Structure 1
Amino acid sequence: MSFSDLYAKYNCNYCQEEINGIRIRCAECIDFDICLQCFSLGAEIGSHKNDHSYQFMDSGAFGIFLGRNSWSANEEVRLLDAIEQFGFGNWEDIAKHIETRTPEEAKDEYITRYLEGCIGRATWGTVESTSRPSLHCADRDEGPLGPSAVSRLPPLAITADEATQLGYMSNRDDFEREHDHEAEQLISALSLNSEDDELDVALKLSQVDIYTRRLRERTRRKRLVRDYQLVSSFFNNQRNKQRTLGKLAKEKKEFTERLRWTAQFYGRAEQAGVVAGLWRERELRVRLAELHRYRLAGVTRLEECAHYEQHAAQRKHPHAHLLHQWVPGHQSDKRANADQHAAAKKKRRRKRLKFHQPKVHTGRKYRMWMLQKELMQQQQRRMLEASADQ
């Protein structure tokens, strides 16, 4: 007998009455069942004859446990199936699933047979009967997720007033209002009923799946807030906003803002390292481009770079050194300017700089030299041709 036969209902093929107990199944006819009354009278119908071979079948009406009021095997299986489906303690729905017992009878049968009976003693083992549960905590935890292997984050450096304004509970390390605070309303009214079909069950499971995803997003955001110390950073930025803006260059701040999206893939320290590495790479690229420009201009020493920049500025603004004399509210002092010019000239002579004369820092001089060389070669070829003709 298969497990599905316990829930199957059979009718007599002769009198069409429902068979609740033992039935007779014909071994020669296909799917032919007959009740005991019709079998005792020798009933025949269709191709079935009363001299055919037969079998006695029982669909679970026999009792498993000995006793006067013992339950049938069908009822015991329905009891265990209902507890697995509706949970322990939901005796109203369990009794509806059994169909032949009251909630009190279902509760007494399960506790007597499967908790306090021989099956319960063999399955649950020995349980300590103490009035207060004992909590055992190991002195040292050296497991893979023990305190020694997991570094604790520092506490949040905020005042009580700031925590109250933000709705932050420091003892629980949590907020009074969670992210996506109304996510629980999606499943608050869900319940499984015996009348639900497959479409209803699938729809309810989809709602539970959506709720689970929203919980994961909430947990992810809380982890980011705790990892990056956003609570304390929020109030620290309010206190030190002016000082922070004064120290941080505008260009570097914009660069950091463009890379903020990488924070969802790294921790706080890792993300800071990535941003610092990319900023350093950018600085090196700018410096390499600057040195390449010096080299193309003919500058080969670092001490010559300042002199090159000075000449480049003078070529761009030939009268830049005279602009300060025309600032409103100031008077020109020709003697002071002459003294400064003489001192600077004397200093340049003493240091014997390489660039004692204005130098052309472009490729124009090289192109002129190549042109002169080509003209000289053409002149020499002409002279050789003239001598050969003579």
Structure 2
Amino acid sequence: MERLASFSNDPFDKPPCRGCSSYLTEPYVKCAECGPPPFLLCLQCFTRGFEYKKHQSDHTYEIMTSDFPVLDPNWTAQEEMALLEAVMDCGFGNWQDVANQMCTKSKEECEKHYMKHFINNPLFASTLLNLKQAEEAQHNETAIPFHPADDPPRPTFDSLLSRDMAGYMPARADFVEEFDNYAEWDLRDIDFVEDDSDILHALKIAVVDIYHSRLKERQRRKKIIRDHGLINLRKFQILERRYPKEVQDLYETMRRFARILGPVEHDKFIESHALEFELRREIKRLQEYRAAGITNFCSARTYDHLKKTRAEERLKRTMLSEVLQYIQDSSACQQWLSRQADIDSGLSPTVPVPSNSGRRSAPPLNLTGLPGTEKLNEKEKELCQMVRLVPGAYLEYKAALVNECNKQGGLRLAQARALIKIDVNKTRKIYDFLIREGYITKA
């Protein structure tokens, strides 16, 4: 194609004759010893033996003409160039217009020749493919694609995934809103005029330099996003979860240094740490086998099975002891039943219920400003503080128990619990307090 390009039919595309300065028309002569630039002569100056500076009339020369076949014996190089220019001007498929512009070939001849030698020709097909790949590579260097081997998702506008992608537009390989999106506002009113003083001119130059630095920062951030594949945040998070918990913590800590290490070095560091973690865990497991006297992997499988069985039995015994310990506490029993239901359904058990002996007592309730506090005596205030019961609720419970005791001539604890639908421990403390203070009597 470069050779064909040198034989353009337009004389304005070539330098003039060095002898008479006229526009060259084919055929003309090119000196094979002088140049660059090429030393070109028309046929008239060549026959006169024109000499200029280092060029002598006895130098070797070349006859420059496009009247020779290239791809087809019936098509000259000049006609090949004319066909390509006509297709470029008229568009692919407009063969009648192409033939009219060429004037030397018919519509059928133009279509057949172009399809045979420029579309279905394996040599030209591979060349066009290489050109396309080179163009895509150049585009990848300037644009910000999702990942070299991935096609970014194309969510609907203003969707949750679109917000996670920070407004990234895959079709344009760019963002809806740039980093430092209003950086151009500082330049909108700047105008360089001849009447500016030196200080004002230097100030405007400084503003332009600041704008350039902000553009560099914008491109730097885009490069980090491109190199590390951070457009699809959900996919990035899924890749993180394949590591153990300890490696995930390291991943989170080292993320701020990823832009310094680079994507390849950062991934190598994380992968090497994950491999180290796996090796340490495997070494610890082998040391446990050795301490148990196991010398082969067949015995190790049996050991792991028995260890798992023992752990399950130990968990069952622990749960049974919890039942016996909390059988008198309805809330603790409810928590234990919920935990047992989770285990039976295959879910991870909830946090075990702490024992009464290890339960941390809640601080006393502050009655300051609570309604009904002024109606209580000191002992009743102390009871409400320790039981953590608001004065209004205590007065209602007291009135209900006193009325029921007067009707029945006495009151049992079970009856008190039926009247007051609160924690059984709080009901017992209120019942004992009212008995002790003489407000009610036992049945």
TM-score by length of 1: 0.35
TM-score, normalised via structure 2 length? 0.32
Between Structure 1 and Structure 2, whose CA radius of gyration is higher?
A: 1
